[in-house]
Amino acid sequence: MSPEYFDAHITPLGWQQVDNLRKHVHECGLAKRIDLVITSPLLRTLQTTVGVFGGEGYTDRMDIVPLMVANAGNSGRAAISSLNCPPIIAVELCREHLGVHPCDKRRNISDYQFLFPAVDFSLIESDEDTWWKADVRETKEEVAARGLKFLNWLWTRKEKEIAIVTHSGFLFHTLSAFGNDCHPLVKKEICQHFANCELRSMVIVDRSMMGLDPSTTNYPGKIPSGLDLPSDVVDEKA
């Protein structure tokens, strides 16, 4: 509840966790497969996003803007390059539990644009934070509903491999809406709280669309075509 935690930034320990996740993402090859990164527009998620998925150290060039300027959010970190990294979009729908807590109130988008010049903030409609209320905390049901709205929006994206940098509370309440038809242990695993800088890979499937996309590995058989004896003769007689 302390005002000094307004839009809380990452601590030195948090930056160590970011560095370790970045190392893992590159070592396992995931960094090369990501088509798009979506981030919550709060300082701690923006810092995590650029720390994990950003380019190497930034050198001052007229034709390339940095992903993050030096010392953004009093981080003491050098500027981060936007070279050789996936596009990054800030999306309001995946913010943390809204209201009352100052740490979950965001800055003006114009402030973030100065700190993170190469991040795309164009999908956020208001410069000021109109979602956070000082005296009203979102209910769990409202967070879950916002999470489902976010996932529905996610379906509209053409990209397939998408990294989402968001918050433990938001994920817990959103994912709790899933897995009710699964074994209780599976449900428990789906809803388990995320640790700081934890990465989980999930495949999201629209069951109504299952079977509509042709498999890229199917093979029709009977090439070249011809009469298979004696099975085809038996089939014809039948």
Summarised one tens digit per residue, pLDDT across range 161-202 is: 999 999 999 999 999 888 788 888 888 888 888 889 999 988
From first to last of the 238 residues of the chain, give the pLDDT tens digit.
899 999 999 999 999 999 999 999 999 999 999 999 999 999 999 999 999 999 877 666 655 788 999 999 888 898 888 888 999 999 999 999 999 999 999 999 999 999 999 999 999 999 999 999 999 999 999 999 999 999 999 988 999 999 999 999 999 999 988 878 888 888 888 888 888 999 998 887 776 666 555 655 555 555 566 666 665 555 566 5
Taking the model in full, what pTM does it have? 0.83
Give the span between the Cα atoms of 41 and 47, in whole angstroms. 10
Whether the CB-CB separation of 35 and 86 falls below 8 Å is answered with yes
Show the CA angle centred on residue 130, arms to residues 101 and 104, nearest 5°: 25
What tokens were used for 76?
A: 């003491």
The domain locations on the chain are 3-135+160-166
Q: How far apart are CA 168 and CA 174, in angstroms?
A: 10
Residue closest to 162 by CA, chosen among 49, 45, 238: 49
